[in-house]
Structure 1
């Protein structure tokens, strides 16, 4: 029988030799024991039951083989809330929390005093952005789209479990809104922006286990932004706020794209907490 400390020491060493994150051991053990980290650290000398150790060992071996921790536990935290995740959706990243922050702050700046704003999260995946916006600000009436029915099922589950009111529509980019003649004041998206070339440099944990269609456009990483530029005019009224997550080298390219399609747009490139270009915010005014 092993103590919790001994189980963690074994797992950390085993994961390190495979080049995995040794901190994953703590996450997997807290999940197996259904306790939080502080409780785990206070229980180092407690003996772990054989059944719990076997379950933990199985999880550690899966991560050793490259399966993401979040796929093993079935969850990831985003903006302080627990979201269900699986192989059909992109695992929410901390950088995307900054996209939510940008939407909230820019909406205050662009639409001061407006009680209700129609927001659409395009390519919602797990629903992290859409659900968070709906819960963080009652002024947003949120619609979310995704081409993947499995992703929409996951997003709906997260919205229901967290008590968020979001209207989910299946379809490609903004096409479902165009078809239904829906308008949006705020458009937000974390589209597939990794180039085909850069996909080769990703770790196997990401490359082999997260949906390729949520990571890359199979080309230069800019194709979805180009499609957005052509579809945006059909879903906005007089004024709209558009917020995109981007790859850290794509700021100028996406900004130039906005100015090409919308010459009068107010476009800002924002950096993430690591000082890298990560978000493009554009205010577009459409004159009839």
Structure 2
């Protein structure tokens, strides 16, 4: 079978199953070890039989609900490749915008001074590792409640050459216990209301850890807990707090932060798709 025929076959099955048709190209590039440019240039080339069989197997696996990233074992994030598995949330494109927002605000607050940052609920380590690699003079810590998630994050840090202080524990407790203070707190915590988790796509609810999804009755439990404890781990001087939130939660999370940090600047920022997606709190 030729490459274009394999892609057409996959596209038809994926469309019928109401899956993302782009998954076919991603899986074929993975199994053929081809860049997108090479794949498009070789559309009329024959596929090796072993590659074709592996590709067809994974297309059917994805149709059954397995995320593409679990089939390939990785996801691209901020120009880098991160290992992922069932123990971590798959990094989303929206979270790249959180990185941009943190870096822009940090530049205004701290200029090029070395600062310390902590990523709470690090999962794959995508946020913490990216911040460390983008700002080599920062000191970055990362916390997760699951040792299995930290194992993935540590592997990513080693593979990408990032020095991150990984800490095991519940939200800010490891920082408090260690007496660690930071200038920047960033988090993409679980924010989906508990009763809505089971309504998510099977690729999410059946394959990504529930602990990274469910945020309590209204989805805001973790923001309340973080807001309560963050003052105990902030260093003296300017500070920056950045949260990713669920669409529609902007005003509620803003109110939580305004109550916890009276007189400070709290802003709701919309993502590229026009949805309220981030809340930033700064000391000025």
Q: TM-score range by the shorter chain?
A: over 0.9
Shift of 1:138: 2.0
Distance between the aligned counterparts of 2:117 and 2:78, measured in 1? 18
Deviations 1:13-71, CA, capped at 9 Å, x for gaps: 11111111111001000100111111111111111121111111111111010100000
What corresponds to 2:151 in structure 1? 153
Shift of 1:237: 2.6
Distance change (3 Å), C-alpha of 1:88 and 1:67 = same
Secondary structure, aligned partner of 1:187: strand
1:43-192 pair list within 5 angstroms: 43-113=42-112, 115-192=113-190
What corresponds to 2:207 in structure 1? 209
Shift of 1:203: 1.1
Divergent runs of 4+, >3 A = none
Secondary structure, aligned partner of 1:237: coil
What corresponds to 1:262 in structure 2? 261
Distance between the aligned counterparts of 2:274 and 2:234, measured in 1? 31
Unaligned runs of 5+ in 2: none
> TM-score, normalization: structure 1?
0.95
Shift of 1:11: 1.2
Distance between the aligned counterparts of 1:272 and 1:75, measured in 2? 24
Distance between the aligned counterparts of 2:105 and 2:270, measured in 1? 14
Shift of 1:199: 2.0
Report the number of matched residues. Answer: 283
Distance between the aligned counterparts of 1:266 and 1:46, measured in 2? 57
Shift of 1:197: 3.1
Secondary structure, aligned partner of 2:26: helix
Shift of 1:8: 1.2
Secondary structure, aligned partner of 1:257: helix
Distance between the aligned counterparts of 1:277 and 1:17, measured in 2? 32
Distance between the aligned counterparts of 1:40 and 1:262, measured in 2? 52
Unaligned runs of 5+ in 1: none
Secondary structure, aligned partner of 1:44: coil
Shift of 1:201: 3.2
1:237 to 235, 238, 252: 235
1:245-260 pair list within 5 angstroms: 245-260=244-259
> TM-score, normalization: structure 2?
0.97
Secondary structure, aligned partner of 2:239: strand
Distance between the aligned counterparts of 1:162 and 1:90, measured in 2? 19
Distance between the aligned counterparts of 1:3 and 1:214, measured in 2? 40
Deviations 1:214-243, CA, capped at 9 Å, x for gaps: 011242110000100111111013332110
What corresponds to 1:219 in structure 2? 217
